[in-house]
Amino acid sequence: MKLILRSLVLILSTSLFAQKQPADLIISGGTVVTMDAKRTIQDDGAIALKGDTIVAVGPREQIIRQYEPAQTLDATGKLILPGFINGHTHVPMTLFRGLHDDVTLNDWLYKYIFPAEAKNVNEEFVRWGTRLAAAEQIRSGVTTFADMYYFEDAVAEETKAAGMRGVLGETWIDFPAPDNKSEAEMAAYTERFLKKWQGEPLIHAAPAPHSIYTCSQKTLQDSAALARKYKAPILIHVSEMKKEWDDSQRQHGMSPVQYLDKLGILGPDVVAAHCIFVDEADRKTLAEKKVGCVHNPSSNMMIASGVSPVPEMLEAGVAVGLGTDGPAGSNNDLDLMEEIDLAAKFAKVTKNNPLALNAKAVVEMATIQGARALHLESEIGSLEAGKKADIVIIGLDAPNAVPMFDVYSQVAYSLKANDVKTVMIGGRVVMRDRKLLTVDEQAAVAKAREYGRSVAASLGMEPKH
């Protein structure tokens, strides 16, 4: 009798109580745009989280039946998407925003930016620029960004403080940089940087050889060897201007992509920004070597550097993400939602074909394709059990948000950064109802104005305000 009673209690407890598993948070009630392999869109859906990870995604009824959350977040009437991925930028350059626009890339780099950097960039500059950029990026729903700059360890510290995810590349370049004056210094700094951030969930430290036109064969190969020693990614600008392609043909008798391949640089750990001048053979190489490419439509248009053949790259199986580049000189903002919109329209106008790249494809480029391009698709890019809880909640109440017939079309062409309401990275809310929780935005804005005055003075310019 005792035994029967005990089994009865056991049956009752498993069926009534043990059924509900604990969760730290349930986000419920909105339309969940999962970007999973089936591109499931769940109306009246829910997401359960534990720690920094998603444990379940599904219909609201089912999730609340299965999980007992410590906290809930109501997203009724809103869209829930994976956080957007800004695959290429130089965040401390926010403090050079608008310094010298409407010039060629070559002039911008050599006449203005390199001298401005030599006079102004130090670790403190990089920290404030990163804080400003974190505020700006979170406001447009960016949860992960890939960066290439100097003092990248300071970028990493500020990125972590802002609660953002970053693939952060310390620049290697064949002239004295603001942080390191020789290749030996760059190598030593980068090795310390890679060691320091190993095992840190938010930060992926990397070497970033700037490009084939600013790095010797030795610089390229040494930086790649160091990356591979620590299983780190390699960030590089590839085939970003016609002059680079012409010079490569003249000096190496081959395209920049083929030259990098010949040097053994290309592989499934390389993130190649731009890839504008890539022919069919190059696209095949990029796909075979599993190189991730990042398309930067605003930047390509602003510098008139050319048109990356994105539809052809996707067709060839290359992972293509989206980036803002800049934010100075080649875009001037970090609004990834603008890039989603422009990527589709840029492809349409240059192909003279409205079917060239559709809304769904560009939303993919900002999420799951972007994750593939950064080689992080097992961690981020979609809302699925086991992935990191990098989530944006977008409001649908603004005049520009209604009515809605197609979710992808709405995200690509109608919704704006201002419609992003709440942003979560690794389960931590970094913006709630448009209020930033991890960055002192006022201080960052005030400091940016101060830097505006000192940068202008260093170049003998009149500051604007």
Q: How far is the CB of 296 from Zn ion (least distance, A)?
A: 7
Considering the complex, state which of residue 30 and residue 207 has its C-beta at the smaller distance from Zn ion: 207
- What number of residues does the chain have? 465
Nearer to Zn ion, 60 or 204 (CB): 204
Name the minimum Å distance from CB 321 to Zn ion. Answer: 13
Count of residues of this chain found to bind Zn ion when the rule CB under 5 A is applied = 1
The pair of structure tokens assigned to 119 is: 């006079």
Residue 129 C-beta: closest distance to Zn ion, Å: 15
Contacts to Zn ion from residues 126-165, by CB under 5 A: none
Of all residues in this chain, which one has the CB nearest to Zn ion in the complex?
Answer: 325
Q: Which residues are CB-contacts of 283 (< 8 A; sequence separation ≥ 6)? A: 309, 312, 313, 316, 318
Which residues between 420 and 459 bind Zn ion (CB under 5 A)?
A: none
CB of 199 to Zn ion, least distance (A): 28
- Asked if 303 contacts 105 with a C-beta cutoff of 8 angstroms, the reply is yes
Looking at the Cβ atoms of 33 and 365, the one nearer to Zn ion is: 365
Q: How far is the CB of 283 from Zn ion (least distance, A)?
A: 21
Amino acid at 402: V
Please name which of 453, 444, 452 lies closest in space to residue 136, comparing C-alpha atoms.
444
**Which residue's CB is nearer to Zn ion, number 303 or number 430?**
303
Q: Which is nearer to Zn ion, 157 or 325 (CB)?
A: 325
Least Cβ distance, residue 215 to Zn ion (angstroms): 14
Given the rule CB under 5 A, which of 175-183, 207-215, 248-256, 324-332 is the region that contacts Zn ion? 324-332
Q: Are strands 45-50 and 53-59 parallel, antiparallel or unpaired?
A: antiparallel
* Sheet-wide strand order for 53-59: 53-59, 45-50, 21-28, 67-74
**What binding mask, one character per residue, do residues 169-208 give for Zn ion by CB under 5 A, x or -?**
----------------------------------------
Q: Quick one: which segment of 106-114, 256-264, 304-312, 322-330 binds Zn ion (CB under 5 A)?
A: 322-330
| Residue closer to Zn ion, measured from CB, 27 or 320 | 320
The 3-state DSSP class for residue 143 equals strand
**What does 35-61 look like in DSSP terms, one character per residue?**
--TT--EETTEEEEEETTEEEEEEEHH
| DSSP string over 61-125 | HHHHHHEEEEEEEE-TTSEEEEPEEEEEE-GGGGGGTTSS-SS-HHHIIIIIIHHHHHHH--HHH
Which of 48-56, 222-230, 319-327, 341-349 is the region at the interface with Zn ion (rule: CB under 5 A)? 319-327
Which residue lies nearer to Zn ion by CB, 130 or 438? Answer: 130
CA 387 to chain centre: 16
Q: Which window, 52-60, 317-325, 378-386, 426-434, contacts Zn ion (CB under 5 A)? A: 317-325
Rounded to 5°, the CA angle 308-314-320 comes to: 65
Residues 235, 88: Cα–Cα separation, whole Å: 9
Q: How far is 427 from 390, CA to CA, in rounded Å?
A: 7
Q: Which stretch binds Zn ion (CB under 5 A): 136-144, 318-326, 358-366, 418-426?
A: 318-326
* The two three-digit tokens of residue 94, written as one number: 């926010």
CA gap 405, 394 in Å, rounded: 16
Nearer to Zn ion, 333 or 379 (CB): 333
Judged by CB under 5 A, which stretch of 166-174, 224-232, 275-283, 323-331 contacts Zn ion? Answer: 323-331
Shortest spacing between CB 223 and Zn ion, in angstroms? 16
Closer Cβ to Zn ion, 52 or 325, answer by number: 325
- Kindly state the smallest distance separating residue 241's Cβ from Zn ion, in Å: 11
Name the residue type at position 430. V
Quote the least distance from Cβ 302 to Zn ion, whole Å: 12
Q: How far is the CB of 90 from Zn ion (least distance, A)?
A: 6
Judging by DSSP bridges, how do beta strands 142-149 and 84-89 pair with one another? parallel
Stretch that binds Zn ion, among 202-210, 250-258, 286-294, 321-329 (CB under 5 A): 321-329
Pick between residue 282 and residue 325 the one whose CB is nearest to Zn ion: 325
**Torsions phi, psi for 263 (to 5 deg):** -80, -5
Looking at beta carbons only, is 135 or 208 nearer to Zn ion?
208
Half-sphere exposure of 321 (CA within 13 A, CB side): 35
Minimum distance from CB of 56 to Zn ion (Å)?
38
Nearer to Zn ion, 147 or 419 (CB): 147
Closest CA to 286 of 309, 321, 313, 246: 313
- Cα–Cα distance list, 185 to 33, 173, 181, 192 (Å): 46, 11, 6, 11
**Shortest separation between residue 136's beta carbon and Zn ion, angstroms:** 17
Footprint on this chain of Zn ion (rule: CB under 5 A): 325
